Amino acid sequence: MSKNVVIVGSVAYDDVETPLGSRKNLLGGSATYFSVSASRFTHARLVGVVGNDFSEDDRALLARHEIDVSGLVTDTSGDTFRWGGRYHENMNDRTTLYTHLNVFERFTPKIPETYRHEEFLFLGNIDPALQLDVLDQVAGPRFVALDTMNFWIEGPRREFLDKVLTRVDGLIVNDEEAKLLTEGRSTLELGRRLQELGPKTVIVKRGEHGALLFHGEELFYVPAYPIEQVIDPTGAGDTFAGGFMGYVARHGNLELDTMKGAMLCGSVMASFCVEGFGLDKMSAVTIDDIKNRYTRFEALTKCPALTL
């Protein structure tokens, strides 16, 4: 039975430059990419903050995806969080041109009463102290996963992050973040050590090399869906997380087969994301598009029976 999924994170405007072009004032932010991706599988409920410059067109985009924005607060004292970045030729590396937190700097998540009993919760990349506060506001969700970043791992907020990790069920990080969180030489060793920190479900993303799922004692690997041309990688990780959590919430269980399907859906949604600037491609994706790409993905990864 499908369940709603709550996302707490950032809503932003991005200026992006890639080797294939540039765009300004793109709707972005972790909560935005996550919720649009998750909305293809279940209902997303967004908790975040925007400023007085947030456009009605962007509100309409969220509404078209039936995203519940009861938890999206408008702070009229300033502008929405803004970020600018330039991607290098390989599309894996980027240079941040500016970060203006604006109203996001004063963001203190308030979980609406109607959200507090939802079973699936994702804590986007925000201050770990705020993530802890969110956990204190909700009533025993069934599955909580979180994202984090180098700034929180290496900085003075690490003690809060360590506390959060003991209280969540899932962790989604890239391989660089995994190495900063715990010592290990191989992805396999890193994943197992991350589980020792608290979350029993861990996903280590490896960019174009796919992602590895640790679910209890079980392992599952999914490659990245092959794309002919990457236009803009911004938000791909949040899109993956949204596809993963949306699929899990849609099925309403934590069985291994559900997690495997969620990994493929996360990879499929991320592949749509990178094919356009910002949300251009992903916001237009239909259920049939997802089914067709999922089927092709299965065919790409299916091996014949071994004969010797």
Give the contacts of 95 (CB within 8 A, at least 6 positions apart).
85, 86, 88
Give the tens place of pLDDT for each residue, 242-297: 999 999 999 999 999 999 999 999 999 999 999 999 999 999 999 999 999 999 99
CA-to-CA dists, residue 278 to 19, 20, 39, angstroms = 15, 13, 16
DSSP state of 52: T
Q: In this predicted structure, what is the pLDDT of residue 61? A: 97
What pLDDT, on a 0 to 100 scale, did the predictor assign at position 150?
Answer: 87
CA distance 256 to 262: 10
Residue 49 counted as domain residue? yes
Q: How many domains would you assign to the chain? A: 1
Buried/exposed code over 207-224 (b: 16+ C-beta within 10 A; e: otherwise): beebbbbbbeeeebebeb
Domain that holds residue 249: 5-301
Task: Indicate whether 308 belongs to any domain.
Answer: no
Question: What is the 8-class DSSP label of residue 208?
Answer: G
User: Are 60 and 46 a contacting pair, CB within 8 Å?
Assistant: no
Question: Element (H or E) spanning 278, and its range?
Answer: none
Does residue 271 fall inside a structural domain? yes
pLDDT for 1 = 63
**pTM attached to this predicted model:** 0.95
More confident of the two residues 301 and 167: 167
In a domain, 28, yes or no: yes
pLDDT single digits (tens) 54-92: 999 999 999 999 999 999 999 999 999 999 999 999 888
Q: What is the reported pLDDT for 156?
A: 87
Does the residue 306 lie in any domain?
no
Mean pLDDT across 142-152 = 93
CATH number, domain containing residue 196: 3.40.1190.20
